[in-house]
Structure 1
């Protein structure tokens, strides 16, 4: 398998990047951002295959809404799988990409062995977003709230200076809601990441708001690892997933007690062990 490369689909240059050895794990999102989150040690046990979707890819000069429907993005993922010749693999989606990971596995189930979903709420509709805001206001410690207020006050100027990276600026300034250690600066993680805002707005604002992972999992027949951060105020609380193991018996839920939105970064040893042992079929 080629270690890295690109495929042009409809004018979008979608990159792929293969690192490590072992069972293939296909990680959808950005080939620049996501490799920075996973540990070097994990690459000694698993082959991590990072792929872009159209929201984070080099785009044609002009494109229309019909160029970035959910179905097109899922079809892109399948085209990359075919290009790489992947037969059996684990599909992994983090945050909003959990929706893409599960939808892909539903549409193209033949080669997907298992699905790992990390740090996503069941849906991204307005009501759920209000629940997460209320959770932050009620549960976060005063120092965290103060840091958030200081950081978010800078967001408007960030966007005014660089509107094309609005999504990135927002996630950087929302660090106190994202990390257990709320002093972490996420800016280096996002350096050099391309963002196509019409596509990102569509995915997070419309597509993911219309999907419900709980309902999808109830009728899904493959093994699923659901990982959540106890201090993830972006998509929390973890209680949004209460009872999922009874609704979907194939789901194994794991809560990372000292993590926010990125347990692979904040608790790498525990994350690596949890993911690897689940893939290998060991009891967690």
Structure 2
């Protein structure tokens, strides 16, 4: 099944794309971007539902401060869940969307079976962002650093030409911090991805900086899969998660040694096998 539809929440038209059949996995983020990252193998075993949040859709009206809040995003997800009649599902959040997935599972736990968190730091505070950048400067090899400097030098030009896609340009130009293969160009994945920058700026710049996923895990009794990439310099180092150890009996933490920010794309066979085993056994 491959279906593209939309649901209306608070006047925002949230598109969703359905791929595959089986246990539903709701992927919060962009319905255009995220289908690129997962393998056809997974679509043969599970039903992936890729759902936009309001940071990836056109503005329906003039925004108020209330429209930016994480609570509004969580409510959007719940409206979509009801519309899709999801009564026993897995929620997945990658990168910044991990905050949305975990906070949703805490606020609306009734229908959530399990939670998948991929490639996020525990917090997006400014201090943590500086820590990640320092880790990159101290530990990345010289070729990777040269590639990063070459790419990031083009970012200002990209933004000046197309300021409304600032988030997209940043993601593309930071490829040397995002991928194990630091020469990989992910620009094609972002084609036709719409970005609503006022909402994205608030969520990533403010809301996610005030949250801490490790603290939030203490308030959740659902099974959690935590996937990290050893070469994911965007949210590095993986040691930020060291306190999530065997005492977190509901959390399965997996570090993918040859991946950056997208192990489902970079190590698909290992990622698929690991995730399938976790879903089926817990």
Asked if these proteins are the same fold (TM beyond 0.5), I'd say: yes
Q: Is the 8 A contact 2:98 2:118 kept in 1?
A: yes
Give the corresponding residue for 1:207.
Answer: 207
Q: Does 1:172 align with 2:196?
A: no
Q: Is the 8 A contact 1:46 1:276 kept in 2?
A: no
Give the corresponding residue for 2:136.
Answer: 136
Runs of 4+ in 1 over 6 A off after TM superposition: none
1:11-90 mapped onto 2 (5 Å cutoff): 11-90=11-90
Tell me by how many angstroms 1:68 deviates: 2.5
Secondary structure at 2:120 match in 1: coil
Distance 2:95 2:277 in 1: 22
Give the corresponding residue for 1:245.
Answer: 245
Distance 2:198 2:207 in 1: 12
Give the corresponding residue for 2:220.
Answer: 220
Distance 1:143 1:184 in 2: 13
Secondary structure at 1:270 match in 2: helix
Tell me by how many angstroms 1:65 deviates: 1.9
Give the corresponding residue for 1:158.
Answer: 158
Change (3 A) 1:184 1:220: same
Distance 2:278 2:58 in 1: 34
Secondary structure at 2:60 match in 1: coil
Distance 1:249 1:89 in 2: 21
Secondary structure at 1:137 match in 2: helix
Tell me by how many angstroms 1:15 deviates: 0.6
Q: Is the 8 A contact 2:151 2:173 kept in 1?
A: yes
Cα deviation code 1:221-266 (max 9, x no counterpart): 1110100000000001100001302452211100001100000110
Secondary structure at 1:8 match in 2: strand
Cα deviation code 1:10-44 (max 9, x no counterpart): 32110111110111100000000000111111100
Distance 1:81 1:241 in 2: 30
Question: Which has the larger displacement, 63-72 or 201-210?
Answer: 63-72
Tell me by how many angstroms 1:166 deviates: 0.3
Distance 2:14 2:73 in 1: 11
Over aligned residue pairs, what C-alpha RMSD do you find?
1.3
Tell me by how many angstroms 1:60 deviates: 1.5
Secondary structure at 1:41 match in 2: helix
Distance 1:154 1:256 in 2: 30
Distance 1:213 1:175 in 2: 25
Cα deviation code 1:73-93 (max 9, x no counterpart): 100000000001011011100
Distance 1:215 1:162 in 2: 38
Length, aligned pairs only: 282
TM-score normalised by structure 1 residue count: 0.97
Cα deviation code 1:100-120 (max 9, x no counterpart): 000000000000011000000
Cα deviation code 1:60-79 (max 9, x no counterpart): 14222211211111000000
Give the corresponding residue for 1:105.
Answer: 105
Tell me by how many angstroms 1:98 deviates: 0.3
